[in-house]
Structure 1
Amino acid sequence: MSSPQSSSKARPVLIVAGVAVAAALLGLVSYTATKPADPSASGSSSVAEVSAAPEAGVYEQLEKYARRDASDGLALGRADAPVVLIEYADFKCGYCGQFARDTEPALVKKYVENGTLRIEWRNFPIFGEESEAVARASWAAGQQGRFWQFHKAAYADGAKEKGFGAERLRALAAEAGVPDLARFGKDSEGAAAREAVRKDQEQGYALGASSTPSFLVNGRPIAGAQPLETFTEAIEAAASRARTSAKGSR
């Protein structure tokens, strides 16, 4: 997990409701933020402590942060999927890149492709001007239907070490297959991009997130680029809860 102060040390992250009413209902939700487990270490395990019990660790008010907008270019999967994973991340965050390369593709294959999961991206730039610039660029790529291709290019192994200056962003857009690079450049610097990033960022801060990546899975907070098993357990529990809820409403 990365934060503006440290990209290597774990720290607690607090999620609170974004409005006064929700805060009064929920109080303070805390969860453990850790760096990813070292796969070479024997006996390592996730400390996110996600329970298999469908209701455990779930805060219904936080479920409302899912937008479920079918026109959202920064989302992947069906708008009516029973489970929504919201990711708050920064393209300059190393652990976000690890999640994008090592974990997210498996979740897409197992859950997005069969309609169980929807992934909604939130730009949460916390590392300064380049973070802001690449966040706007990713949004601009999304306006031409190439956000996830841009996401893959920007999170490729070694990509962040090359920086995210203007020329580099244009190169990433070209690599991602953005068709109109002139429009991409204009959109990246436009008011709409700045407003979209600000909206995502303020939502993250309202939740109390201060480091990346941070996630919500149907209202269940998860901190850090946890092992695949942590996410599969959370998604399975959320899907079970959604099925039970659907049966109860019939």
Structure 2
Amino acid sequence: MSKKPYVIGAGVAVAAGLLAFASYTATKPSDTVAESSPSSSSSSAGPESGVYPELERLARRDAADPLAVGRADAPVVLIEYADFKCGYCGKFARDTEPQLVREYVEKGTLRIEWRNFPIFGEESEAAARASWAAGRQGRFWQFHKAAYAPGAKEKGYGKDRLTALAQEAGVPDMARFARDLDGEEARAAVRKDQEEGYGLGATSTPSFLINGRPIAGAQPLETFAAAIEAAAKAAPTAPATSAAKAAR
């Protein structure tokens, strides 16, 4: 698979290098907090604190994004680059993400934005497109849950299996799902996310940005909690949404 560059802008090289290094060294859960996670007392923003404004601006904050959960104006945005064939992505989805949703998303502090980052071949690409197609009918997160259920990865993501997962997720129009899955719009959407991840220097999944702070691997809940709380403390009171950005 070619790894096409995604140009983000000047000043990202150091951050991309950090994420690439973190991806190389933290592709599995760690028993300790990752080096890229903040200290509990950190509230400053900038490279010296591991926060990169260029990366923070990758948050789309689109209220209509079906691949996101949480308020568009939440003070903290967690961007996840993940692959449905990634075992550690599944671990994060089952063990950590639901707790983040309860503790931070439901309270309005956190927004989670998914980026399809398929790196394990054709089935990964197909599952990514299927998730996007499910999202077109408002069932992305239900598909995400079904695709990351225990044992789901071992069954593969062939065409029949993706259809079964969409049915399990409650996708109402399966004919439309099939068209969207194989359509150019799905391919373009997945390619956009994928190239964004490669441009950041991500080499493994899952990889994360929390208000511009790179974290790699299915780290312990405490790593994410510390990063979210530090980001919330440092965040401006009214982050720009996609509509506000477009009006500028």
- Smaller-chain TM-score bracket: 0.7 to 0.9
Q: Which residue of 2 aligns with 1:54?
A: 43
**Any conservation in 1 of the 2:146–2:169 contact (CA below 8 Å)?**
yes
Q: Provide the identity percentage.
A: 68
Q: Which residue of 1 aligns with 2:125?
A: 132
Q: Which residue of 2 aligns with 1:63?
A: 56
| Residues 1:27 and 1:207: Cα distance change in structure 2 (over 3 Å) | closer
Does structure 1 residue 208 correspond to structure 2 residue 197? no
Q: Which residue of 1 aligns with 2:226?
A: 233
Does structure 1 residue 144 correspond to structure 2 residue 137? yes
Does structure 1 residue 82 correspond to structure 2 residue 75? yes
**Any conservation in 1 of the 2:67–2:113 contact (CA below 8 Å)?**
yes
TM-score, normalisation: structure 1: 0.85
Equivalent of residue 36 in structure 1, options 10, 23, 29: 29
- Deviation string for 1:79-129 (max 9, x for gaps)? 000000000000000000000000000000000001110000000000000
Q: What secondary structure does 1:246 align onto?
A: coil
Residue 28 of structure 1: CA displacement?
4.2
Q: Which residue of 2 aligns with 1:40?
A: none
Q: What secondary structure does 1:209 align onto?
A: coil
Residue 221 of structure 1: CA displacement?
0.3
Q: Which residue of 1 aligns with 2:115?
A: 122
Q: Which residue of 2 aligns with 1:19?
A: 8
Rounded Cα–Cα distance in structure 1 between residues aligned with 2:16 and 2:77? 23
- Deviation string for 1:152-194 (max 9, x for gaps)? 0000011000000000000000000000011001100001000
For structure 2, the 5+ residue unaligned runs are 239-248
Q: Which residue of 2 aligns with 1:13?
A: none
Rounded Cα–Cα distance in structure 2 between residues aligned with 1:108 and 1:26? 27
Q: Which residue of 2 aligns with 1:156?
A: 149
Rounded Cα–Cα distance in structure 2 between residues aligned with 1:159 and 1:226? 22
- Deviation string for 1:61-92 (max 9, x for gaps)? 10011000111000001100000000000000
The amino acid across from 1:91 in the alignment is F
The amino acid across from 2:212 in the alignment is G
**Any conservation in 2 of the 1:48–1:226 contact (CA below 8 Å)?**
no
| Residues 1:234 and 1:27: Cα distance change in structure 2 (over 3 Å) | closer
| Residues 1:27 and 1:231: Cα distance change in structure 2 (over 3 Å) | closer
Rounded Cα–Cα distance in structure 2 between residues aligned with 1:195 and 1:134? 14
**Any conservation in 1 of the 2:12–2:54 contact (CA below 8 Å)?**
no
The amino acid across from 2:223 in the alignment is T
The amino acid across from 1:246 in the alignment is T
Residue 27 of structure 1: CA displacement?
7.9
| Residues 1:164 and 1:113: Cα distance change in structure 2 (over 3 Å) | same
Pairwise CA RMSD of aligned residues? 2.0
For structure 1, the 5+ residue unaligned runs are 5-15, 38-43
Rounded Cα–Cα distance in structure 1 between residues aligned with 2:223 and 2:14? 27
TM-score, normalisation: structure 2: 0.86
Residue 50 of structure 1: CA displacement?
1.5
Report the count of equivalent residues. 225
Rounded Cα–Cα distance in structure 2 between residues aligned with 1:221 and 1:73? 23
